[in-house]
Structure 1
Amino acid sequence: MKSFEDLDRLVGAVPFDVVTHLRTIDTGRGSEALYRDKLPALLTSLADRARVASIEASSAIEGIVVENRTRAAAIVSGDVDQLHDRSEQELAGYRSALDYLYQEQWRPLNIGLVLHLHRLLFQYGATPGGQLKQVENLVVDRLPDGTRAKRFTPVSVASTPAYLDGLITRYSAAQDAGRHHPVVLVGLFALDLLTIHPFVDGNGRITRALTNALLQEAGYDVTRYVSLETTIARSADAYYASLLSSTHRWHEATHDPWPWLRYFIGVLAGSYDQFTALTASARSGGSKQDRVRDYVLHHAPEAFQIGDVRTALPGVSDPTIRLVLAQLKAEGLIDVDGTGRGATWSIV
């Protein structure tokens, strides 16, 4: 809520590098309708893969991992009747929360929606969801030596309902007013919700799920096709560092939101770059081997696995991907660390 008390002062002057990222985002948004008309099958495939990646990555950020990949896939698909442990229960719960937000009827944004998402997240476990925290909480970091350090103090139990209601009301009013870029406002909403920390557990996952929904509501659909959570998981240190910087002095409303907004908007701009690369690869023609080669040399992350290429190029088989990777390695263009599914490839 604090970020919305004086928006003109807080985010009226947007840093130049953030403006550049916002231009990339708006350009990407403008092309989404074209791709929906011309590449519907590709977008359906990308959406299916992004959904799976988002469920697994957002859970993994919180240390919730199902090591058996086949079983994890079955849980995400809803094909498992018996959930064995907390990780499996919460993976299934996040699937339910995210899928609920993929439906159009989730609107409007209100406290009831936030509580419902939390209830879905914990519906399979022993810990009840769907209620605001009843005990005071701290957000801490675990240091390399095993000790813990306080990152910030969330809003008190007594103040949480009013702060949460105020955040939703002010965010909605700011989006309706249209004075500030809608992506900036979504970023501020995420920052404030994480700082209010309305639940004992699940705050990060609820915030990330809502971030996807609010971006899509504002017309930025890229999170349907490219997993924002996967990028966050891969840059977790930067994610937490930016939050730490921007929550400092939040309670006094004298905080600096730009470390967080710079990170968040940069991640979203990168998602649009990735989306452009994926659609360009599909439109470029050429053989499947050519498409793999182009993606690896020009569009893949600095370090990638076969699964990343598979996600980027729907319809290209694993044997084809492995063949091209072997050729590129023989040419001295890429190198590999490890073997099997866990192998990580990188440009030389």
Structure 2
Amino acid sequence: MIRTDSLQITTDILSLIAGIDEFKGAWRALGTLAPDRLSALRRVATIESIGSSTRIEGSKLSDREVEHLLSNLQIKSFETRDEQEVAGYAQVMELVFMSWQDISLTENHIRQLHRDLLTYSDKDDWHRGNYKTTSNSVAAFDEHGKQLGVVFETATPFDTPRLMAELVAWFSEERETGRLHPLLLIGIWVVVFLEIHPFQDGNGRLSRVLTTLLLLQAGYAYVPYSSLESVIEQNKEAYYLALRQTQGSIRSDAPNWQPWLVFFLRALSQQARRLERKVEREKLVLAKLPDLALQIVEFTREHGRITMAEAIRLTGGNRNTLKQHFRTLVEQGHLVQQGGGRGTWYELR
């Protein structure tokens, strides 16, 4: 039984949800780029997601190597385990992006996605698509793929089928009643799934695929264009810590959902902010801004304001040339000038 009566909705959680939902609502306007640019954004995000998600589990392939591998997926033959895992992840990601409306969250579909995830992994032939038959545990890896140690002891093989049936039924009921905000519901589902760790291998990768699936089904249509997996990889220590802090209490009378939900929502918030910056940059490129002007606007968006001295350090440009760029950016409505003389600074309009 999954208990959420001890869940405290703090101002931090409320603020994160509000920000993510604000971006969700704004995406319709932000996502009006040309189809080819949206397609390019999605391809970059997909490469980042595949690379990051497999590296979290110990793979050593860089994003560039992942990109090269994806361009040759039609060969259907991969020599190393890392390549096999990347190919499987790519195939499942594409399936989710294309068919998310038709993939209901059932045990059968979860097992099918696991089977597809490991479809090229020769070593996993014996267990793919089936719940675990021997005990497993969550291990952490460093950037070189070396195991750092056990993070968490998981459910027993005997308990796994019952716990998975309970988890799927709980999610279906909660989604129907709408008692929990969709982001909280998805966050709790994911952390319980990882606490059960139902498959012999591939649980971490599958959890991130399922997160994307559930976010798409909840209306977060921008998800394919920004990599959540990349955010998690860059915050891997915090990821494992949040998992450990919450998972140790899940089977108690008062689970501590807070550590994981705060991490999860912050990761989603960072994912949205990254995409917002990318879209705004695309629009600036379409506005045919010169490179120096583009650098000025991007710095201002990142830091909130910019001065002439900062622009000179950033671009190495001539002061008079930069003055002209600032004047044009103000005239075109990209920037607003504040102050005067040596105290002049600029911010976004």
TM value normalised by structure 1? 0.78
Instruction: Provide the secondary structure at the position in 1 that maps to 2:6.
Output: helix
CA distance in structure 1 between the partners assigned to 2:137 and 2:171 by the alignment: 25
Residues 167-189 of structure 1: CA deviation (Å, up to 9, x unaligned): 11111211121121100111001
Is the counterpart of residue 20 in structure 1 residue 19 in structure 2? no
Counterpart AA for 1:237? E
Match of 1:110 in 2: 106
Residues 132 and 199 in structure 2, CA contact (< 8 A), matched pair in contact too: yes
Matches within 5 A, 1:98-137: 98-104=93-99, 106-126=102-122, 127-128=124-125, 129-137=128-136
Residues 96 and 120 in structure 1, CA contact (< 8 A), matched pair in contact too: yes
CA distance in structure 1 between the partners assigned to 2:296 and 2:57 by the alignment: 34
> Aligned Cα RMSD in Å?
2.6
Once the two structures are TM-superposed, the CA of residue 46 in structure 1 deviates from its matched residue by 1.3
Q: Which moved more, 1:231-240 or 1:25-34?
A: 25-34
Once the two structures are TM-superposed, the CA of residue 269 in structure 1 deviates from its matched residue by 1.2
Aligned pair count? 299
Is the counterpart of residue 167 in structure 1 residue 167 in structure 2? yes
Match of 2:68 among 69, 74, 77: 74
Is the counterpart of residue 295 in structure 1 residue 290 in structure 2? no
Instruction: Provide the secondary structure at the position in 1 that maps to 2:151.
Output: strand
Residues 158-212 of structure 1: CA deviation (Å, up to 9, x unaligned): 1111111211111121112112110011100110000000011111000001001
The 3 A distance-change label for structure 1 pair 326 and 163 is farther
Match of 1:61 in 2: 56
Q: Which runs of 5+ in 2 are unaligned?
A: 304-310, 318-349
Residues 78 and 84 in structure 2, CA contact (< 8 A), matched pair in contact too: yes
Once the two structures are TM-superposed, the CA of residue 215 in structure 1 deviates from its matched residue by 0.6
Residues 49 and 228 in structure 2, CA contact (< 8 A), matched pair in contact too: yes
The 3 A distance-change label for structure 1 pair 256 and 288 is farther
CA distance in structure 2 between the partners assigned to 1:67 and 1:242 by the alignment: 26
CA distance in structure 2 between the partners assigned to 1:227 and 1:179 by the alignment: 28
Match of 2:186 in 1: 186
CA distance in structure 2 between the partners assigned to 1:295 and 1:36 by the alignment: 19
Match of 1:83 in 2: 78
Counterpart AA for 2:67? A
CA distance in structure 2 between the partners assigned to 1:58 and 1:292 by the alignment: 31
Instruction: Provide the secondary structure at the position in 2 that maps to 1:151.
Output: strand
TM value normalised by structure 2? 0.78
CA distance in structure 2 between the partners assigned to 1:141 and 1:33 by the alignment: 38
Instruction: Provide the secondary structure at the position in 2 that maps to 1:187.
Output: helix
The 3 A distance-change label for structure 1 pair 133 and 16 is same
Once the two structures are TM-superposed, the CA of residue 76 in structure 1 deviates from its matched residue by 2.1
Q: Which moved more, 1:129-138 or 1:203-212?
A: 129-138
The 3 A distance-change label for structure 1 pair 41 and 131 is same
Residues 94-149 of structure 1: CA deviation (Å, up to 9, x unaligned): 11111111122542111111111111121112222111100112234579xx9965
Q: Which moved more, 1:227-236 or 1:153-162?
A: 153-162
CA distance in structure 2 between the partners assigned to 1:151 and 1:81 by the alignment: 34
The 3 A distance-change label for structure 1 pair 6 and 156 is same
Match of 2:176 in 1: 176
Matches within 5 A, 1:228-307: 228-284=228-284, 285-289=287-291, 290-296=293-299, 298-299=301-302
Residues 31 and 279 in structure 2, CA contact (< 8 A), matched pair in contact too: no
Is the counterpart of residue 328 in structure 1 residue 318 in structure 2? no
Instruction: Provide the secondary structure at the position in 2 that maps to 1:98.
Output: helix
Instruction: Provide the secondary structure at the position in 1 that maps to 2:42.
Output: helix
Counterpart AA for 1:60? R
Residues 57-77 of structure 1: CA deviation (Å, up to 9, x unaligned): 1111111123593x5323223
Give me the identity figure in percent. 26
The 3 A distance-change label for structure 1 pair 182 and 67 is closer
Structure of larger gyration radius: 2
CA distance in structure 2 between the partners assigned to 1:68 and 1:152 by the alignment: 28
The 3 A distance-change label for structure 1 pair 140 and 47 is closer
Residues 305-331 of structure 1: CA deviation (Å, up to 9, x unaligned): xxxxxxxxxxxxxxxxxxxx9973647
